[in-house]
Amino acid sequence: MNLLAVATSDYIGFILLIAMLISSRIRRSDNEHAEFRVFTIITIMTMIACLVDFLVFYSDGKTNPIFKIINRLGNTYCFMANPVFIASWCLYEDLKLYHSFTRVRRIYRYAFIPAVFMVVIALVNNVFPIIYTIDDNNVYSRLPFSYVYYIVDLGYIFFSIYILYKYEQRYGKVRFFPLYLMVGPIVLGCAFQAMFYGISLIWVSLSVGLTSIYMSLQNEFSYIDKLTGLYNRAYLDYQLDSSLKDKGSMIGGIMIDVDYFKKINDTYGHSVGDEALIDVARVITFGKPDKAIATRFAGDEFIILIKDTREKEVQHVLKNLHDEVDLFNRTENRQYKLSLSMGYSIYRPGKDSVDDFLKHMDDNMYEEKQIRHSL
């Protein structure tokens, strides 16, 4: 056992997670989403495990009664935390993608069974050793059944990949959630720790995975409009800059303006106005194709960007959006009725600039708005 190597890996994992928690403190205080609370809990649980892991290795072989207690309790905690962490990661992923408590209640009453079983085994091990033993000299020895924990971890990893696969199959590619950044370090850490007795890489691997995912999510936080949940102007600019460099790609754009929005604000107040914008975002999300990018452009203006498209498809999206507005007004009992003016444009490679592309959309949208207001 190389105590210095263990101390180094656990220290790195601990510091990474501390830094992440400090950097995210403002967002944690201003975020009520369940998935973010789950992410915070598994981060804290891993951070504690990094500290406990070092104490366990440091206590191993020391016959002082205090060190014996630390060795026993510490190993119990680590074996309990391991399956709970990986099962909770699947829960976090599911909440982040689907935002459905009904789905969570339906699936995770069963999905957590292996994790709960392994937690019970870790507790029972203190009476009937089947995972590890600690002899009279306070020396830890791993037993063959401990490898079942690696099998359970692998099962949950495959489950998390399956969750993402099924979601993308139905709703399209997920941006800002590179699952391999989480899964990769975990798989490598588990593999090396299983093969080489006496090293500790699982917790630092989990720390690296969590930190990598969090860093990726920072891009999402900076590109998401907080009120509507759509992408913001900065992300639109980024997409326009990258998309329009592809001279062979046909790109369609739809500019959307909320009719009579000032009247909604003046009549019902700004909180109802915000509710109306959220409703518009929902209408846009339901009406656009999966591959399209919906952004809040400014105030009550929105833009949908559709890559690799043709004019006929863009016109079909316009019809879908009008149908969604009609459905909303028929089925939702709001104080207001939604009305949207829309104009579209097709980017012509080599002929249009970004400003031309946006101006054509704006002009066409304004033309429709004038027609609506003249009725």
Average pLDDT (16-36) is: 75
Average pLDDT (175-202) is: 80
Residue pointed to by tokens 């019970």: 120
Express each pLDDT in 258-307 by its tens digit: 998 888 888 888 889 899 999 999 899 888 887 789 999 988 999 999 88
The pLDDT of residue 350: 67
Q: What is the DSSP letter of 245?
A: T
**Separation of alpha carbons 193 and 182, rounded Å:** 17
Enumerate the H helices of 60-112 as residue ranges. Answer: 65-98, 101-111
| Cβ-Cβ contacts under 8 Å for 313 (sequence gap 6 or more) | 252, 289, 306
Contact 219, 283 (CB under 8 A): no
The pLDDT of residue 139: 93
Residue pointed to by tokens 């079909």: 316
Give Cα separations from 309 to 78, 106, 291 (angstroms).
52, 38, 10
**Separation of alpha carbons 83 and 85, rounded Å:** 5
Average pLDDT (40-54) is: 93
- 3-223: which CATH topology? Rhopdopsin 7-helix transmembrane proteins (1.20.1070)
Return the number of other C-beta atoms located less than 10 Å from residue 282's C-beta.
16
Express each pLDDT in 53-68 by its tens digit: 999 999 999 999 999 9
Please give the structure tokens belonging to residue 51.
């500290």
CATH number of 233-374: 3.30.70.270
| Cβ-Cβ contacts under 8 Å for 50 (sequence gap 6 or more) | 10, 11, 13, 14, 17, 203, 204, 207
**Separation of alpha carbons 134 and 291, rounded Å:** 56
Flag whether pLDDT at 32 surpasses 60: no
Residue 254, judged by CB atoms within 10 A of its CB (0-12, 13-18, 19+), counts as buried
User: How would residue 30 be classed by pLDDT, with cut points 50, 70 and 90?
Assistant: low
**Separation of alpha carbons 202 and 53, rounded Å:** 10
Domain ranges of the chain: 3-223, 233-374
Flag whether pLDDT at 42 surpasses 70: yes
**What percentage of the chain exceeds 70 in pLDDT?**
93
Residue pointed to by tokens 């990726």: 216
